[in-house]
Amino acid sequence: MEIIVRSGDTLSYLSNLYMVPLELIIDSNPDVDPIHLKVSEKILLPGFISVPYTIKKDDTFWKIAHSKNIDVDAILLLNQNLDSKKLILGETMYLPERITKPNISAKAGCDYKSLVKIINHFQKVYPFIKVTVIGNSVLGNSIHEIRIGKGAKKVHMNASFHANEWITTLVLMNLVNQYLLSLTNGSLMGGRNTLELYQNVELSIVPMVNPDGVDLVLNGPPISLRDEVISINEGTDDFIHWKANIRGIDLNNQFPANWDIYKQNKRPKSPAPRDYPGDLPLTEPEAIAMADLAKNNPFNRVLAFHTQGEEFYWGYEGFEPAESETIAKEFEKVSGYEAIRYVNSHAGYKDWFIQEFKQPGFTLELGKGINPLPLSQFPKILKRAEAIFLAALYL
């Protein structure tokens, strides 16, 4: 929500008036001098939107403020063009409305277009977040990264490496939504003070690594590639079990962690709906973007959200540091998911991250069943994922 600075206004006053943490207001306005505000300067206030209100007979600022349980000056700030002593019947004014409920529906799948809409909403309502494009998919869709917080500890989480695991994007974005609501409303999340987490942790989120694949599963193939992807899909136009990117290359088998062993052992020897690692590691733009992200940022830990199994993997070939076990035990404790150190698998993002940087990495297999998991499982999955999400930030 945008407000215009008046003479005498300060960010501290605005923080108290709207009950939003001062730190979030400062971070939402990086180009504003927080000490010396200028009259008529525009300030973005996180966690609020302004909504139109039609003035009724006998309305006054004070009467409206009382009926809406809002401080009168919070309304005056939004309506500096109106005469505070005489409101005109039928005119439109604006009222501040605090956002207190999640904005994301879990009643349908989340495709690329839906994700972009959610991200745009977050940028508008929570301007202290930073959104960048770290790369593009084969079809040119943006691969977004969301940054929240500014602490020394850097935690990265990602979702939808695999196309038919799109529910992980819904889970991760709902967790982000809860986190942002907790920050702006001063409420706890899972019993945790999220403002402290914000101050101590910089959280990196890539909510959809494989946008082309997700769209293929949810919406079908683009007309220009229809024949090609049906051919890769063994002649069927049912893509419900497709995991790969649009070129039939499994993005989570694209990383140089014993890639050659994986290539030799896996059955698909050409593009396929799942498991084909490509002709070489890091050939796909989505995998390259994720590798570059890790190379360019000193992440202290990485969590990759997948489905299914209600378990998670936390080791790779002995490259994992000692603290990985401590974190794994906590994840297991708070979620009920089984912690598994080693599996006979290579070339995954988590595997490569552990091998390359010797930092904790985790592949989380949310839920249980056959992919894609039904949305009826979403509440249970979200609850367990929230416990792991928070533990990854506070440990």
Question: pLDDT (tens digit, 9 = 90+) per residue, 297-306?
Answer: 999 999 999 9
The reported pLDDT for the residue numbered 266 is 77
How many other CB atoms are there within 10 angstroms of residue 258's CB atom? 19
State the residue for tokens 């249980």: 368
Looking at 145, 165, 320, 365, which residue is catalytic?
365
The reported pLDDT for the residue numbered 265 is 87
Q: Which CATH superfamily is domain 112-213+280-394 in?
A: Zn peptidases (3.40.630.10)
Mean pLDDT of 200-218: 98
163-172 per-residue burial string, b: 16 or more CB within 10 A, e: under 16: bbbbbbbbbb
- Phi/psi-derived region of residue 8, left when phi > 0, alpha when psi is between -120 and 50, beta in every other case: left
pTM of the model: 0.96
Q: Is the confidence at residue 225, as pLDDT, over 80?
A: yes
The reported pLDDT for the residue numbered 187 is 97
For 23, the token pair is 């730190």
- All CATH 3.40.630.10 domain ranges of the chain, comma separated, are 112-213+280-394
Q: Is the confidence at residue 292, as pLDDT, over 80?
A: yes
* Contact yes or no for 96/70 (Cβ under 8 A): yes
365 is catalytic: yes
- Alpha helices (H) in 51-161, listed in sequence order: 61-68, 72-76, 112-125
Instruction: Tell me the three state secondary structure of residue 338.
Output: strand
Q: What is the pLDDT of residues 230-240, one digit of tens each?
A: 999 999 999 99
Nearest-angstrom CA–CA distance, 369 and 164: 13
Q: Is the confidence at residue 218, as pLDDT, over 80?
A: yes
Mean pLDDT of 269-291: 97
Instruction: Using pLDDT thresholds of 50, 70 and 90, give the confidence band for residue 105.
Output: confident
331 sits in which H/E element:
helix 323-335
- Percent of the chain whose predicted confidence (pLDDT) is above 90: 96
Nearest-angstrom CA–CA distance, 318 and 316: 5
Instruction: Using pLDDT thresholds of 50, 70 and 90, give the confidence band for residue 51.
Output: very high
The reported pLDDT for the residue numbered 84 is 83
Q: What is the pLDDT of residues 313-348, one digit of tens each?
A: 999 999 999 999 999 999 999 999 999 999 999 999
- All CATH 3.10.350.10 domain ranges of the chain, comma separated, are 2-98
CA-based nearest residue to 194, from 11, 395, 390: 390
Q: What is the pLDDT of residues 54-94, one digit of tens each?
A: 999 999 999 999 999 999 999 999 999 999 888 999 999 99
Angle at the Cα of 281 from the Cα atoms of 275 and 287, rounded to 5 degrees: 80
- Phi/psi-derived region of residue 70, left when phi > 0, alpha when psi is between -120 and 50, beta in every other case: beta
Q: What is the mean pLDDT of the chain?
A: 97
281-312 per-residue burial string, b: 16 or more CB within 10 A, e: under 16: bbebbbbebbbebbeeeebbbbbbbbbbbbbb
Q: What is the pLDDT of residues 124-173, one digit of tens each?
A: 999 999 999 999 999 999 999 999 999 999 999 999 999 999 999 999 99
Query: What is 2-98's CATH number, 3.50.50.60, 2.40.30.270, 3.10.350.10, 3.40.50.720?
Result: 3.10.350.10
The reported pLDDT for the residue numbered 379 is 97
